[in-house]
Amino acid sequence: MLLIQSRSRHHIRSSEITEPRLYLDRRRFLGAATGLLAAASLPAALLYPEVGRAARRLPPFTRSQRYTTDEALTDYEDITHYNNFYEFSTDKEEVAERARHFRTEPWSVVIDGEVEKPGRYHLEDLLRPHALEERIYRLRCVEAWSMVIPWVGFPLADLIKRFRPTSRAKYVEFTTLYDPEQMPGQRRNILDWPYVEGLRMDEAMHPLTILAVGLYGRVLPNQNGAPLRLVVPWKYGFKNIKSIVRIRFVEHQPVTTWMKASPREYGFYANVNPEVDHPRWSQARERRIGEFFKRKTLMFNGYGEEVAHLYAGMDLRRFF
């Protein structure tokens, strides 16, 4: 597929979306692999004392032995202070401060569309039947930087089964809260708000796909998508929609926010593919936050064995 740079009223300067500086001098998380392989319902303060006592705790959760890695975790401070969340700011280092007073309680999510049990559900009722689990996933952003994050959440498939989509439901569409009073970035005409993302039904049902409510054993910080966000580890970060207020089951492929803003740059699938460059930079290599040297970008962000079959027979340069 020939990729052509285009500009629209939604165009964002590369200086706004490329990282302003790399975190090269912060401490690495010590002994990350040592305790992360055992599944246990332990207090977060014992698991991650370096996170700080002020953060709200999650209910007990188990630690996945299947979904883990021996890679060093990205430092908590980096994860929570280097954020893509345009609803607050296009400057990654400003998001945490601007999201500090964001209200996430009470919170409700609308479930609708082609589903047998539609309705508005309080977050507590939405989460109550689901057992939380910590999974360590790589996060790869389209701007060629990456992190390794211990997410806490539950499989999206479990929620989908609970609300029983009809046979007409081929896709799942997600919508972020629209509240310019709380989210100052929404006052700028940089994207068509509210933020919308979507998955094909088989992608949504894949066991790697989760709804996250925490990280590092703590309640999800505002700047990381509190109180509920999507995590699809084989896709670029912009696919992992934050602060979800609506989950809609639809028959046709949703028109997602970044597709609408720049369709030649941001495709619906957004699979990590080092062979398809962004028009303004290469995707062949990435820089892990906290490391000096770049590393080779892995197909499907390293999850090829688990997900490649979803795209069998598809031209992944056309369906990027």
Q: Which residues contact 59 (CB under 8 A, 6 or more apart)?
A: 132
Confidence of residue 47 (pLDDT cuts 50, 70, 90): low
Confidence of residue 50 (pLDDT cuts 50, 70, 90): low
Q: Where are the strands (E) in the chain, listed by range?
A: 62-63, 108-113, 119-122, 133-140, 145-155, 171-176, 196-200, 210-215, 218-219, 229-231, 244-250, 285-288, 295-296
Map residue 283 onto helix, strand or coil: coil
Q: Which residues contact 218 (CB under 8 A, 6 or more apart)?
A: 44, 48, 51, 55, 56, 57, 58
**Distance (Å, whole) CA 265 – CA 280:** 9
> ∠71-83-63 over CA atoms, to 5°?
40
Confidence of residue 49 (pLDDT cuts 50, 70, 90): low
What was the pLDDT predicted at 231? Answer: 98
**Distance (Å, whole) CA 315 – CA 266:** 16
The alpha carbon torsion through 176, 180, 182, 186 (nearest 10 deg) reads 60
**Distance (Å, whole) CA 320 – CA 316:** 5
What was the pLDDT predicted at 9? Answer: 40
In this structure, the number of other CB atoms found within 10 A of the CB of residue 275 comes to 11
What fold characterizes domain 14-311? Sulfite Oxidase; Chain A, domain 2 (3.90.420)
What was the pLDDT predicted at 118? Answer: 97
The alpha carbon torsion through 161, 165, 171, 174 (nearest 10 deg) reads -70
Confidence of residue 179 (pLDDT cuts 50, 70, 90): very high
Which helix (H) or strand (E) covers residue 257, if one does? helix 257-261
Q: Which pTM was predicted?
A: 0.86
Whether the predicted pLDDT of 19 surpasses 80: no
Confidence of residue 57 (pLDDT cuts 50, 70, 90): confident
Confidence of residue 58 (pLDDT cuts 50, 70, 90): confident
Cα 39 to the center of its chain, rounded Å: 23
**Distance (Å, whole) CA 229 – CA 241:** 6
**β-strand pairing of 285-288 with 119-122:** unpaired
Q: Which carries the bigger pLDDT value, residue 27 or residue 215?
A: 215
C-beta of residue 134 within 8 angstroms of C-beta of residue 62: yes
Average pLDDT, the chain: 87
- Of 304, 234, 318, the closest CA to residue 276 belongs to 318
What was the pLDDT predicted at 319? Answer: 92
